[in-house]
Amino acid sequence: MITRTRLAAGACALLAALTAGIAVPAGAAAGEPTGRDAPKVDLVLDVSGSMRARDIDGQSRMAAAKQAFNEVLDATPEEVELGIRTLGANYPGDDRRTGCKDTAQLYPVGPLDRTEAKTAVATLTPTGWTPIGPALLKAADDLDGGAGSKRIVLISDGEDTCAPLDPCEVAREIAAKGIGLTIDTLGLVPTAKLSRQLSCIAEATGGTYTSVEHQDELTDRVNELVDRAADPVVTPVPAEGADRCAGAPALKSGLYTDRVGFGQQRWYRVDVPPGKELRASVSVAADRAVNPGYGVLLRAVTVKGREIVRGEAAGTGRTDVISTGLRHPKADSDEEDAPAEAVCLAVAHSFSAASGVRTTPGLPLELTVDVVDGPDEAADVAAFGLGRGWWLLGVLILTGFLAGLVWGWLSRWRVAVWRTN
């Protein structure tokens, strides 16, 4: 009986030890700080007199913006520090000098009190001028400090009225500081001139421009941009593609932005070392009215023009973004010092502009490039998506195997003892 008890205790101790060893991997304890600074977002809202216009789903532009902001505030991730800045909200007069200073912090960038922020938004009334440049400079100051991602989301229904402080030049000045700040812009029922100005502001910092004509479009897009700030993503880097493979800019792993015209191809080059594989994806956004029926094509081509692999997507109706991707595996070379293979990526789309819609500049694109270890150099289990968790699977299998052996031996011993008695 003593022997039986010791065996059972030993089996339990073995299982407990194995379980304790795999329950909490090193460095993964719940509640440990990540050491990552909180992402910051400053929503900059145009509250100029033109926001009284009633052309967004039967309501005023201001009412649509308020409703969108309330929904965005409800959906803002807890880890995001969010603030709200206004332009043109306080000075109703005609003095240009005073009107061009009319920008104020409605809600400071920091941990979000949703009730307080909504109360502040509810007080807004369309009032004055449109000092976009000064507001961007102040918003950059709002986001000062910390190493987390920083994003300004500018919503306006009219072009800047405070030149010569050109908002495009202001955006370029902000980008030149190298503080990793992205400016995304949204135009409410925009004119061609406003679209050009907001596109220029966004392009200067690797941001995006979106045309908005409905309240739900505004809500969805601002929510998307706030969520993007919460993700640990790389700020897109502007890249100017070439018209052909020869002379295409060399890209490394990263996220890039560019524009691709109607009926145009944009070319980029990626050097793929032996034993590595290339993974690339592209998204093209329709930032203006386009005709039904569209597609986007991403091709990997050798420098001699032979197509290696392609990714394509197509659809009908109206869309805002269409994406596709490709994967180009490369076999190992027998030579240790073999040169990298030059692969050219070509991006094209089949969008066509609606009647009377400008065709320049081209449509904005985002290109993601990854050069990673090929399957032969990675762990076999990782190829199935387990990554570094292969050891956990192995320990669980071993635990089950040993437990089965011990339990089977104990069962046989009990039967033998029962027969003896």
> For position 294, which CATH number holds?
2.60.120.380
- pLDDT, tens digit, 9 for 90 and up, residues 108-165: 999 999 999 999 999 999 999 999 999 999 999 999 888 888 999 999 999 999 878 8
E strand segments, 96-208: 103-110, 150-156, 181-188
> Are 46 and 102 a contacting pair, CB within 8 Å?
no
> For position 207, which CATH number holds?
3.40.50.410
Domain contains 412: no
pLDDT of res. 188 = 93
Q: Which of 66, 129, 65 lies closest to 103, judged by CA?
A: 129
- pLDDT, tens digit, 9 for 90 and up, residues 77-109: 999 999 999 999 999 998 989 999 999 999 999
Whole-number Å distance between alpha carbons of 292 and 87: 37
Cβ atoms within 10 Å, residue 31: 4
SS3 label, residue 221: helix
Q: How far is CA 146 from CA 40, 168, 207, 230, in A?
A: 9, 25, 20, 14
Which amino acid, one-letter code, is at 337?
D
Q: Among residues of the chain, what percentage have pLDDT more than 70?
A: 81
Within this chain, do residues 206 and 247 fall inside the same structural domain, yes or no? no
- pLDDT, tens digit, 9 for 90 and up, residues 369-410: 988 876 544 334 333 444 445 566 677 777 777 877 777 777
Within this chain, do residues 62 and 199 fall inside the same structural domain, yes or no? yes
Domain contains 223: yes
Whole-number Å distance between alpha carbons of 281 and 366: 8
State the residue range of the domain holding 102: 40-230
Lowest-pLDDT range of 14-18, 64-68, 191-195, 272-276: 14-18
Lowest-pLDDT range of 28-37, 186-195, 274-283: 28-37
Q: Among residues of the chain, what percentage have pLDDT more than 90?
A: 43
Domain contains 148: yes
228 — pLDDT class (breaks 50, 70, 90): confident
Domain contains 25: no
Lowest-pLDDT range of 8-17, 113-122, 245-254, 296-305: 8-17
Average confidence score pLDDT of the chain = 81
Checking if the pLDDT of 249 tops 70, the result is yes
Within this chain, do residues 274 and 204 fall inside the same structural domain, yes or no? no
Size (the chain), residues: 421
Q: Determine the average pLDDT of the residues in 287-291.
A: 80
Higher pLDDT, 270 or 199: 270
Within this chain, do residues 290 and 305 fall inside the same structural domain, yes or no? yes
Within this chain, do residues 154 and 190 fall inside the same structural domain, yes or no? yes
pLDDT of res. 252 = 92
Lowest-pLDDT range of 197-206, 209-218, 223-232: 223-232
> Are 224 and 151 a contacting pair, CB within 8 Å?
no
Domain contains 365: yes
Which amino acid, one-letter code, is at 68?
A
Strand arrangement of the beta sheet that strand 307-315 belongs to? 265-272, 341-349, 294-302, 307-315
Domain contains 81: yes
pLDDT of res. 235 = 63
Within this chain, do residues 45 and 191 fall inside the same structural domain, yes or no? yes
pLDDT of res. 30 = 32
Within this chain, do residues 167 and 145 fall inside the same structural domain, yes or no? yes
pLDDT of res. 335 = 57
pLDDT of res. 389 = 54
What crossing angle do the helices spanning 192-204 and 132-142 adopt, rounded to 10°? Answer: 30
Q: Which pairing describes strands 276-285 and 363-373: parallel, antiparallel, or unpaired?
A: antiparallel
Higher pLDDT, 353 or 151: 151
Higher pLDDT, 163 or 226: 226
Which of 334, 349, 373 corresponds to the end of one domain? 373
Within this chain, do residues 127 and 245 fall inside the same structural domain, yes or no? no
Q: Give 298: exposed, middle or buried? Use CB within 10 Å, 0-12, 13-18, 19+.
A: buried
- The winner for highest mean pLDDT among 32-36, 296-300, 359-363 is 296-300
**Dihedrals φ, ψ of 101, to 5°?**
-105, 5
Biggest CA–CA distance in the chain, Å, is 108
Structure tokens given for 388: 């570094």
Q: Which pairing describes strands 341-349 and 265-272: parallel, antiparallel, or unpaired?
A: antiparallel
Q: How far is CA 303 from CA 242, 300, 307, 328, 349, in A?
A: 14, 10, 10, 15, 21
Checking if the pLDDT of 68 tops 70, the result is yes
Which of 373, 388, 403 corresponds to the end of one domain? 373
Checking if the pLDDT of 248 tops 50, the result is yes
pLDDT of res. 231 = 74
Domain contains 73: yes
**With a threshold of 0.75, does the pTM exceed it?**
no
User: CB under 8 Å to 44, separation ≥6 — which residues?
Assistant: 84, 85, 86, 87, 135, 136, 139, 152, 153, 154, 155
Q: Determine the average pLDDT of the residues in 346-357.
A: 88
Whole-number Å distance between alpha carbons of 89 and 76: 24
pLDDT of res. 383 = 37
pLDDT of res. 90 = 93
Whole-number Å distance between alpha carbons of 203 and 184: 9
Q: Determine the average pLDDT of the residues in 260-270.
A: 94
Checking if the pLDDT of 69 tops 70, the result is yes
196 — pLDDT class (breaks 50, 70, 90): confident
